[in-house]
Amino acid sequence: MAELDHPLRAEVAALREVIRGVDPEITQQIKWNAPSFSCAGAYIATFNLRSTDRVHLIFHNPRIAEVSSELLEGNYPDRRMAYFANLADVHAKSPELERIVAEVVRFNRKASEVGR
């Protein structure tokens, strides 16, 4: 984050805190030159920071299609998108983002337990 040169840097930072605040076991790494999050051995979401007019968050998890939310866009079998225009939008959508991340974390944990 120290090297991130993006006009919506504050929004990215706020979203990182929301995601990481859902569960203490959520880890962050860099994927596609952007922050990416996982828990229980599976991905949750990754930022796509190519766009400079909004923040694009990609939920790339095989179970994301099972999560019902107006925040999630796209009809792909293994991913959904969420977009944030500014800090006010981040704050307005944060409760739903937290719910989505928590649901994906639950999916990851169940899959991890089955795989043991």
- Provide the phi-psi class of 41: left if phi over 0, else alpha when psi is between -120 and 50, else beta: left
Write down all domains in the chain, each with its CATH number in brackets: 9-109 (3.90.1150)
pLDDT tens figures, 29-63? 988 788 999 999 999 999 999 999 999 999 999 89
In the structure, what pLDDT confidence band is assigned to residue 88 with cuts at 50, 70 and 90? very high
Residue type, 82: A
Q: Name the pTM for this structure.
A: 0.92
| Angstrom distance (rounded) from CA 96 to CA 110 | 21
